[in-house]
Amino acid sequence: MARADKVTAVAELKTAFESSQGAVLTEYRGLTVAQLKQLRTSLGDNANFAVVKNTLTKIAANEAGVTELDNLLQGPSAIAFVKGDVVEAAKGLRDFAKANPLLVIKGGVIDGKSMSSEEIAKLADLESREVLLAKLAGAMKAKMAHAAAVFNALPVNMAQLAEALRVKRAEAEGGSAPADEAGAGESASEG
């Protein structure tokens, strides 16, 4: 590779590191070109999968401030630069690796945090961002409905309490209910 090509490749890799939410390093030894194409298609818009040269990737990663990948850059390497949902990209890589055991997830960096292959597998087990947001919205809606029910119950409870106090006060003052007093007044005027 000519010197100018190496400089261009490093610049492109550096830009990819800086513009992505994460990078997952894999070993692709033994995968065919057709399988790599299938992997790229399955990742869709969530990640860009690129075969890389280790020495150029180390230089680009260090220039971008990503030093966590240095010890993983051994053997034939490829990187999935995550552009979209990190969980969906991790699921895509994990599912492809299950179907094609020649793809080995070595580790990566997600949002500046170094992650082992086991941690990336755990990340893939999470639900997607959309599902988590829907669950959060549902929980918030339920809490708001509960709060509305509580606020609606307050005036009703106050009215019931006021009525109970009025009845109790009437019983304490007159010794009998107001309806009984009206009946007693009629019988007294007749006699």
Domain over 3-126 is classified CATH 3.30.70.1730: yes
Which DSSP symbol is given to 50?
Answer: E
Tens place of pLDDT per residue across the chain (191 aa):
668 888 888 889 888 888 888 889 898 888 889 998 888 888 888 788 888 888 898 888 888 888 778 788 888 888 999 887 888 888 888 889 899 888 889 888 888 788 888 888 888 777 766 777 887 888 888 888 888 888 888 888 888 888 999 999 998 887 655 554 444 444 444 44
Query: Which phi and psi (to 5°) does residue 74 adopt?
Result: -140, 140
Tell me whether residue 59 is exposed, middle or buried, using C-beta atoms within 10 angstroms of its C-beta: 0 to 12, 13 to 18, 19 or more.
middle
**pLDDT tens per residue, range 61-76:** 888 888 778 788 888 8
Q: Where are the chain's structural domains?
A: 3-126, 132-190
The answer for residues whose C-beta is within 8 angstroms of residue 179's C-beta and 6 or more apart is: none
Is residue 83 within 8 Å of 34, Cβ to Cβ? no
Q: Across the chain, what does the average pLDDT equal?
A: 82
Which pLDDT score, from 0 to 100, does residue 167 have? 92
| Cβ neighbours for 54, distance < 8 A, ≥ 6 positions apart | 73, 74, 77
The amino acid occupying position 141 is K
Which tokens is 5 given? 């090509």
Task: Quickly list DSSP for 73-121.
Answer: --SSEEEEEE-S-HHHHHHHHHHHHHH-TT-EEEEEEETTEEEEHHHHH
Distance of CA 114 to the CA centre of its chain: 19
Residues 96, 104: Cα–Cα separation, whole Å: 10
Per-residue pLDDT at 47? 87
